């Protein structure tokens, strides 16, 4: 591994006392009223978002409070099964079977019909270098549904006609 050298000053060690800080268990409290309703729909293979009547913003997964107008959204709307990549990155990790660290794609996607993004998964082993902002995806449902986020197995990349158009424009120029 390449290491970048810098001008380093050594400071003498004077005194040091060791201490430990064991993390205790915590009781986090979350209001799952809305998200549970959404998960019930997932069990049936339906995608629903929560719409704020005041500003028409649709959140998926549903949010309890609309950050724009501080109202409680309460109108369920159906969403399409397609989505687009809003942002992505690749974590370089060495997992079982890897000899070298390789990039695992992580993506935040926007479900078509919603105005928010969330962390989603691509098919296992999908080539990171093929991911781009705006890439279209389609949902792949799990075989047996449990009524939680695992019902969406992953998002399958689908054909993107605009890629071909971009290439054509480039060659014309």
Partner 1 sequence: MGVQPVIVSAGFSEHASKRSDVNMAELMNEAIEDALNKCNCTIDDIDCIINGNMAAFEGANIPELWMTDHIGAKNKPFLRVTTGGTTGGSVAIAAYYAVASGLYDTVLATAFEQQSCGSTTVGLSSVALGEVSIYLQLGYDYEKLRRNMGAGAAIGVGAYQAVNYMSRSHCTEEDLARVIVQNRHNAAKNWWTHLKMPNLTIEQVLDTPYISYPLRFGMVTPASDGSCAMIYTTEENAKKFTDTPVYVNGVASVSNETAIVTSEAGGVGQLDPCEQLGAKISAKLAYEQAGISFPEKEIDYAEVYSPFPNQELMWLERLGLFEENTAHIQYREGITATDGDLPVNCSGGVNSTNAIGASALERVAEAALQIMGKAGNQSPKEIHTAIGHGWGGALNLITLSVLADQPRRKYKGGI
User: 24 to 53, contacts with Zn ion by CB under 5 A?
Assistant: 52
Q: Where would I find the H helices in the chain?
A: 33-43, 161-172
Return the residue of 62, 83, 136, 137 that touches partner 1, per CB under 8 A.
Answer: 62
Rounded Cα distance between 65 and 53, Å, is 12
CB of 160 to partner 1, least distance (A): 14
Question: How far apart are the C-alpha atoms of 162 and 7, rounded to whole Å?
Answer: 50
Q: Which is nearer to partner 1, 136 or 151 (CB)?
A: 151
Check if the beta carbon of residue 109 is closer than 8 Å to that of residue 117: yes
Closest separation in Å from C-beta 138 to partner 1: 18
Shortest spacing between CB 59 and partner 1, in angstroms: 4
- Name the binder of 69 from partner 1, Zn ion, none, CB < 5-8 A by kind: Zn ion
Per-residue exposure over 35-67, b if at least 16 CB sit within 10 Å of its own CB, e if not: beebbebbeeeebbbbbbeeeebbbbbbbeebe
CB contact at 8 A, 56 and 82: no
Residue with smaller CB distance to Zn ion, 55 or 133 = 55
Binding site for partner 1 (CB under 8 A): 1-2, 4-9, 11-14, 16, 19, 21, 23, 26, 28, 30-32, 34-35, 39, 49, 57, 59-64, 67-68, 86-93, 101, 103-104, 106, 108, 110, 114-119, 121, 128, 132-134, 146, 148-151
């Amino acid at each position: 591994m390449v290491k970048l050298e810098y001008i380093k000053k050594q400071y003498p060690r004077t005194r040091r006392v060791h201490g430990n800080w064991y993390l205790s268990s915590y009781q986090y409290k979350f209001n799952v009223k809305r998200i549970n309703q959404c998960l019930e729909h997932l069990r049936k293979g339906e995608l629903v978002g929560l719409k704020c009547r005041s500003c028409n913003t649709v959140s998926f997964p549903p949010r309890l409070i609309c950050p724009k107008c501080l109202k409680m959204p309460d109108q369920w709307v159906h969403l399409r099964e397609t989505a687009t990549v809003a942002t992505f990155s690749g974590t370089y990790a060495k997992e079982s079977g890897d000899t070298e660290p390789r990039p695992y794609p992580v993506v935040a996607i926007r479900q078509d019909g919603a105005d928010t993004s969330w962390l989603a998964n691509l098919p296992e082993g999908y080539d990171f270098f093929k991911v781009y902002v705006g890439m279209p995806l389609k949902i792949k449902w799990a075989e047996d549904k449990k009524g939680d986020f695992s019902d969406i197995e992953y998002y399958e990349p689908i054909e993107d006609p605009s890629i071909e158009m971009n290439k054509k424009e480039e060659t014309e120029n």
